[in-house]
Structure 1
């Protein structure tokens, strides 16, 4: 009986550790999108942003590279954020990027960005239509954009 209880405790502890290792960098994209769009709405900014897979991939890759290097920077081995976004295939007319480190979750990093004028300006920029977010460890990236196609559609 003691062996079974010990085995059960061992399995539970290892399952928790495995979950934290595998899922420790969890990012809830839909929740982050809702935080960004709530901030925009609360400040009278339209339209709400939508998630874009190219920007998500670019932001995630950049967060991973920042974690690997241990350096918070808009530049990496692929260049600056404009180069990275262009190379992703995103045909942009307007772009912006927020980066951060040291935050535990979406709420805390959004608070940090909203309390920093340049980051807040990106979040509230009415020119942006698309959002990509990445997280690796405690490194975060938000990439914002608007495509030429979106710009042309709104002008006609």
Structure 2
């Protein structure tokens, strides 16, 4: 059965791009020098583009510039208001403890409430001489804005419990940039 003319033209077109032509002493057109240069430039452009945008595209690791303590406080208090729970006030001791916890995670390269050496979140709170009856901790990483951080905490049952716990009256936040497991990221720590 003979191939239709249109199909023959398409096959010839594909062969021209992908297969060398010994009878014409030329390479496949996709392997020509000018095309290889174009591929190289496209690859370099793509790599340089990806290195410049990691903190601005959700899901890509990198430093986040749109997470700040004031927004975290406002978004947290909005969630508390929705549940008829009194607002939290920023406490400088809790903020300092949260910052030390974030730096500790970068220094010892871990992502957990309890450090590999056994250091728990309360150690950082007590280290700031903050007296408490109840305490809690929420952690976040790889987010690009405050709203998404608080929304993720709210959707997680254990984090939500901390977020709307009426026993907490004060809070401290830290957002710290660094390298964790070889990747640049922003850690967010919330201590109650």
On whether the aligned pair clears a TM of 0.5, the verdict is yes
Task: Tell me how far 1:34 sits from its aligned partner.
Answer: 0.8
In the alignment, the residues of structure 2 paired with residue 121 and residue 72 of structure 1 have an alpha-carbon distance, to the nearest angstrom, of 20
Deviations 1:37-76 (A, max 9, x none): 100001111x210000000011112112223344211123
SS at match of 1:139: strand
| CA distance 1:78–1:60, shift in 2 (3 Å) | farther
Given that residues 65 and 145 in structure 2 are in contact (C-alpha distance below 8 angstroms), is that contact kept between their aligned partners in structure 1?
no
| CA distance 1:112–1:79, shift in 2 (3 Å) | same
Structure of larger gyration radius: 2
Given that residues 78 and 84 in structure 1 are in contact (C-alpha distance below 8 angstroms), is that contact kept between their aligned partners in structure 2?
no
Deviations 1:93-141 (A, max 9, x none): 1100001211112111111111100000000000000000111122111
From 112, 116, 119, the equivalent of 2:156 is 116
Given that residues 25 and 136 in structure 1 are in contact (C-alpha distance below 8 angstroms), is that contact kept between their aligned partners in structure 2?
no
The answer for the alignment partner of 1:86 in structure 2 is 126
Q: Does 1:102 align with 2:150?
A: no
The answer for the alignment partner of 1:66 in structure 2 is 105
Q: Which has the higher contact order (CA 8 A, sep 6+)?
A: 1
Given that residues 48 and 129 in structure 1 are in contact (C-alpha distance below 8 angstroms), is that contact kept between their aligned partners in structure 2?
yes
Query: More helix by proportion, 1 or 2?
Result: 1
SS at match of 2:105: helix
SS at match of 1:131: strand
Task: Tell me how far 1:25 sits from its aligned partner.
Answer: 5.5
| TM-score, reference length from structure 2 | 0.58
Structure 2: runs of 5+ lacking an equivalent: 1-51, 56-62, 178-185
SS at match of 2:136: strand
The answer for the alignment partner of 1:142 in structure 2 is 190
Given that residues 134 and 142 in structure 1 are in contact (C-alpha distance below 8 angstroms), is that contact kept between their aligned partners in structure 2?
yes
The number of equivalent residue pairs is: 123
| TM-score, reference length from structure 1 | 0.71
